[in-house]
Amino acid sequence: MSQLKTTDMIGQRPTTGFKTDQLRMERRRMPRNIVESRVTAVFTGAQGRVGVMPLEITDTSATGLGARTSTLVEPGTKVMICPAGMPVPSRGCTVVRCTPGDEAGQYEIGLKFDARRAA
């Protein structure tokens, strides 16, 4: 099973693009935690596209997570997170953002957790 390393991001000052005396305007409603974890995800697109992709999770909150992947996925795509060692997917998400990453061939995606169904 993969190990998670977390660091609270609330109150941290950005290291690039801002002067040290400036605060970054944060639009997120929930605090974000930095996470280092690799998982596999299964996705289903709006036009019937289905596939498996590796995800490098970079941050998480109570409502979603941020990740990097080499797979271009459209916003609205349904994703199931499959952590190593788990027999079934653990969490359903919807892609809300997919932008080119810092490295060629990489994308940064935002995933919003789907509501869990009551038993």
CATH at residue 56: 2.40.10.220
- Count of other CB atoms within 10 angstroms of residue 103: 9
Number of structural domains in the chain: 1
Q: Residue 21 falls within a domain, yes or no?
A: no
Q: Residue 4 falls within a domain, yes or no?
A: no
Q: Give pLDDT, residue 18.
A: 42
Q: Residue 5 falls within a domain, yes or no?
A: no
Q: Give pLDDT, residue 83.
A: 80
Domain that holds residue 52: 31-113
Q: Residue 24 falls within a domain, yes or no?
A: no
Q: Residue 26 falls within a domain, yes or no?
A: no
Q: Residue 8 falls within a domain, yes or no?
A: no
Mean pLDDT by 10 residues, the chain (119 residues): 43 43 55 86 88 93 93 94 78 94 93 83
Q: Give pLDDT, residue 85.
A: 78
CB-side neighbour CA atoms (13 Å) of 42: 8
